[in-house]
A = this chain, B = another copy of it.
């Protein structure tokens, strides 16, 4: 008999426990003994490598080149941009010693104090800015576009795997330009690239736009964000792109000689995406049977489970290998490990593998394939090997289309437009979801939202049925629409 659900906690019962159960069930990651840090296990890391590939190819089309800058930032360099340092000062890990020695009790303690303490990068605007100041002399050196894949550290008080960990992996892009127009285009370009990744690769419905003033990256002129709804109705910030104006150029003295031979400050941008994207896949697509992976981030598109009983072994394995070879361009794993096929199947269901094949002597004899599509429904299906191979793209597309559609529905069903603050308060007292409102930017709204742990996620242009133009908080004319939500 089919097990009811492969995850022991239901989403509807306890979303947070379900989230951690999915991570454990798919063997993606686990907590480290070091407070706030996580260990990304092979399957989780393989998903990250797929995400890296997708982002790298986007970066390439924008002419952004990978490189690597130091982990350490001297504190005085870090402090050069006032808003920036005040935004990060409360969560910076600081290295102060360069040696450990045993004390009288035999315990190892830090010794050899450093003359100048070093911050561990929470982000690299300052350290990359210092290089930009050296590298950029003339307008011919512009635009300059670099990116690094690295670890950063932010001292998180409430860590949660993939979403907020003390150390996390990310890519951070940094560019410098001769004109504000070009820099804004770059920040917008990467913003659009991220939107495309979120929609086309992660198969998620999203809202994308500017962050309000108080939610901007410390030191930015404008921050663009992509926000998705998780299945508990909370918002997750997927990635951000920042137009930094001349702020960092002035702090780090990044100047260039223009074609007119004038010495001018450059305009900079930065943009990043983290392992948090894996958290979004779990919380947006996961179900009570575990993870669901969009095809293009799935380490394996198809897992083949040979059903082997004694003397049939070689013919079944041969048939599996033939099937693997015929699935050209598809990532296939044949798992013939010595565990029960049923256990292995549920294991791969929890791992969100799009297609699982079970191949026994019957399939070999009849030249057929028994397969289970993870979406829309976990049901065994049968067809000829020829049919299976020729329809593999359609099957994967069906899996992907279902994921895309389900997330679209969850998002649409839980997004509403409101024109009264009382309605907003009433709504969030009993619900989570996205609420679209008009807002003039006044602080009146913010103080009310703070009381109910709701934040302004971003501006949105989704204004289909919002004909009124009054700010929901103060009633003044408000041109822009914003998304309100409880957020991760």
- Residues 302-327 of A, flagged 1 when their CB comes within 8 A of B and 0 if not, give 00000000000000000000000000
A85 at the B interface (CB under 8 A): yes
A120 at the binding interface (Cβ < 8 Å) = yes
Distance, CA A97 to CA B110, complexed state (A)? 12
Per the bound structure, the CA–CA distance linking A227 and B69 in Å amounts to 28
A28-85 at interface with B (beta carbon < 8 Å):
30, 32-34, 37-42, 44-46, 48-49, 65-79, 85
Complex Cα gap A38–B68 (Å): 9
B70 touches A42 (CB 8 A): no
* CB-based contact A68/B39 at 8 Å: yes
A93 interface hit (Cβ, 8 Å):
yes
**Nearest B residue to A37, CB-CB:** B70
Interchain CB contact under 8 A, A108 and B85: yes
* Interface pair B74/A45, CB less than 8 Å apart: no
A366 at interface, CB cutoff 8 A: no
Q: Which residues of A contact B (CB under 8 A)?
A: 30, 32-34, 37-42, 44-46, 48-49, 65-79, 85, 89-101, 107-110, 117-120, 127, 130-131, 134, 140, 146, 150-151, 153, 155, 167, 169, 338
Instruction: Give 23 A-B contacts (CB < 8 Å), ordered by A residue.
Output: A32-B131, A34-B70, A34-B72, A34-B73, A34-B74, A37-B71, A39-B68, A39-B69, A39-B70, A39-B131, A40-B68, A42-B65, A44-B67, A68-B169, A76-B107, A79-B100, A79-B108, A92-B99, A92-B100, A94-B98, A96-B110, A100-B119, A140-B338
Not counting A37-B71, A71-B151, a sample of 8 additional A-B residue pairs whose C-beta atoms are within 8 angstroms of each other reads A32-B69, A32-B127, A33-B77, A42-B146, A75-B108, A90-B99, A92-B98, A97-B117
